[in-house]
Amino acid sequence: MSKLKTFLDTLSSDEKQAFAAACKTTWPHLRNVMYGYRPAGEKLSVAIEQNSQRKVTRIDLHPDDYWEIWPELKLVATAGGAHA
């Protein structure tokens, strides 16, 4: 989760709240994901990727199983397009 923490650390408190809302979650839940206390669900992972402008990707959030959730991403990672 280090990429998520690195990204969120660049945001102010208000921006963190707004980012969580844009991802349709709460800041406390997002903080739990950031620290690894809770997993990022599939929908939240997509929202984080979109709302961070791909600074944090689904592959970053699911490095051990992203290809099982999103098989199309295996092709991207194999082609060197991933930055996991």
Q: Tell me the CATH number for domain 2-78.
A: 1.10.260
19-47: pLDDT as tens digits: 999 999 999 999 999 999 999 999 999 99
DSSP H helices in 38-83: 42-51, 58-61, 66-69, 72-78
Residues 67 and 76: beta-carbon distance below 8 Å: no
* C-alpha 11: how far from chain center: 15
Q: Which residue has the higher pLDDT, 79 or 38?
A: 38
**pLDDT at position 84:** 43
Torsion sign (Cα): 47, 48, 54, 57: negative
Q: Where are the domains of the chain?
A: 2-78
